[in-house]
């Protein structure tokens, strides 16, 4: 016999992740994070080495640097080095476009508060990819903030387009199966 136990939510997490009273906190986080992504992506979109005639050159340089770290036994694990060498490097041009335009889209989504949780998820995915490749920089901070936005997705876009988009789009658990 299966018995479900429901653990009540604590007031702090309820406030942060379910109450629109916390939306102003997430607005500040969203705008900061969105600006960082938009700025990084805009620089890449306007760079010849990312989306111009030399598209893929920056990605090739980045990957070769990560592979050198892996060979030295520093910061890059073997499985990720293998992924970089056999998947990313041969497709550097495609990854170059994906990163450049992905960063712009994540930035716009966060700034506008449109599909905030999804934008934050893809931003954190890129941060983790950069971290696995041995690039520290601001990636840990951006990853943490994006992860918090993913957790707060229901209220993080309240002062943004999600206030209207989410009720229109609905959620998978809000639909009635017929």
Q: What is the pLDDT of residues 52-86, one digit of tens each?
A: 999 999 999 999 999 999 999 999 999 999 999 99
- pLDDT (tens digit per residue) in 116-146: 999 999 999 999 999 999 998 999 999 999 9
CB 148 within 8 A of CB 22: no
Confidence (pTM): 0.90
Ramachandran class of 118: left when φ > 0, alpha when ψ lies in -120 to 50, beta otherwise:
alpha
Taking Cα atoms as reference points, which of 168, 124, 172, 159 lies closest to residue 24?
159
Number of H helices, E strands in the chain: 10, 0
Alpha-carbon separation of residue 106 from 11, 99, 101, 113 (angstroms): 30, 10, 9, 10
Taking Cα atoms as reference points, which of 134, 9, 149, 153 lies closest to residue 80?
134
Rounded to whole angstroms, the Cα distance separating 49 from 65 reads 16
């Amino acid at each position: 016999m299966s018995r479900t136990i429901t653990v009540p939510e604590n007031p702090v997490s309820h406030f942060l992740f379910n109450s629109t009273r916390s939306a102003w906190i997430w607005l500040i986080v969203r705008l900061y994070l969105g600006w960082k992504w938009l700025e990084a992506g805009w620089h890449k979109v306007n760079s010849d080495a990312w989306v111009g005639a030399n598209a893929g050159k920056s990605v090739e340089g980045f990957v070769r640097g990560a592979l050198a770290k892996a060979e030295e036994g520093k910061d890059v694990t073997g499985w990720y080095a293998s992924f970089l060498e056999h998947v990313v490097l041969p497709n550097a041009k495609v990854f170059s476009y994906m990163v450049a335009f992905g960063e712009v889209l994540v930035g716009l989504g966060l700034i506008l508060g449109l599909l905030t949780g999804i934008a934050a998820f893809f931003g954190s995915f890129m941060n983790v990819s950069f971290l696995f490749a041995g690039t520290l920089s601001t990636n840990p901070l951006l990853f943490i903030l994006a992860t918090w936005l993913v957790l707060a997705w229901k209220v993080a876009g309240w002062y943004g387009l999600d206030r209207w988009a989410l009720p229109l789009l609905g959620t998978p658990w809000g639909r009635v199966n017929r």
